[in-house]
Chain A
Amino acid sequence: MTTLSILLVISAALFCIGLLAALSRRHAIFILIGIELMLAAANLNFVAFWRFGPEPQTPTGVMVAIFSIAIAAAEVAVGLALVISVYRHYRTTNVDRLNQLKG
């Protein structure tokens, strides 16, 4: 196995751990943590493909990773603000208990 395929396996594992957190936990902050892990796994892939890809002279993958980190930061800020305002309203952050629209 080459370094690239090992890196891809690691990033796949990271992605699946994030998926696990997002799907199995009922706490809103855990879900956000899961999403952050998935985004981070994608970043690792971008940088790995840049490093071992055909054109390592043009830093495209690095640029995408940098922008993706910035967007993830914006996303987590808004997400956590949502968690706080939901908590203020319902006194809970468990996403299963936010079921007022359920028939």
Chain B
Amino acid sequence: MNNAAFLVIAIVTLAGALAAATLPKLIHAALCLIVAFVGLAAFFFFLGAEFVGLVQLFVYVGAVAVLIVFTILLTRRDVGKPDKFNWGGIVVAVAVFGGLLWAILKTPSVAIAAAQIPPLTVKRIGEVLLTNYVWPLQCVGLLLTAALIGALVLVMEEKRR
């Protein structure tokens, strides 16, 4: 049961990602990206990191995807034009994948059997977030505020003189 589910999730995620990278129409690619992200969230659920999966869904499907489709909408006059596909990218990507695969298969310490662990509760994450990780948390808050203001300034209409 678990293995079958794992396989299905892997295939859906990778197919979605591949479609997102190669489909000619931008809007279809964006929707396939969402499929890939939902698959990734399923992986997080599968690994016992429920909270990360939910955050992944929330941030990527709820916010990032909406941002991307809105940008596509605002720049759509450009969408119809043909997109030149650079074949050099495939060579590089395949080469990198080959290298990574070789490294993974050659590493002996990867082959540790999985230990049974208690599920990670939201409460535990909250405790850790506000004790050990309180400074990173504040920094992320600052970063998000800066990004919010920066994005606003970038897209603000320039005043005509």
Contacts and interface: CB of A to CB of B under 8 A. Distances in A.
Contacts of A98: none
Contacts, number: 240
A65 B40 CA distance: 12
Given A5-B111, A51-B48, A67-B140, A84 B68 contact: no
B159 interface: no
Given A37-B36, A73-B144, A78-B147, A59 B20 contact: no
A21 B26 CA distance: 12
- Interface of B, secondary structure class, is helix
B67 A69 contact: no
B154 A78 contact: yes
A73 B150 contact: no
A8 B104 contact: yes
B17 A18 contact: yes
Contacts of B125: 59, 62-63, 66
Contacts of B115: 52, 56
Interface in A36-87: 36-37, 40, 43-44, 47-48, 50-52, 56-59, 62-63, 65-67, 69-78, 80-85, 87
Given A29-B71, A69-B52, A20 B90 contact: yes
A24 B89 contact: yes
B82 to A, nearest CB: 10
A84 B93 contact: no
Given A13-B14, A76-B68, A84-B155, A91 B77 contact: yes
Given A20-B93, A37-B33, A40-B60, 16 more contacts: A1-B111, A10-B13, A14-B40, A16-B97, A17-B20, A47-B52, A59-B124, A63-B125, A67-B133, A73-B144, A76-B68, A77-B147, A78-B151, A84-B155, A93-B78, A94-B81
Interface of A: 1-10, 12-27, 29-30, 32-34, 36-37, 40, 43-44, 47-48, 50-52, 56-59, 62-63, 65-67, 69-78, 80-85, 87, 91-94, 96
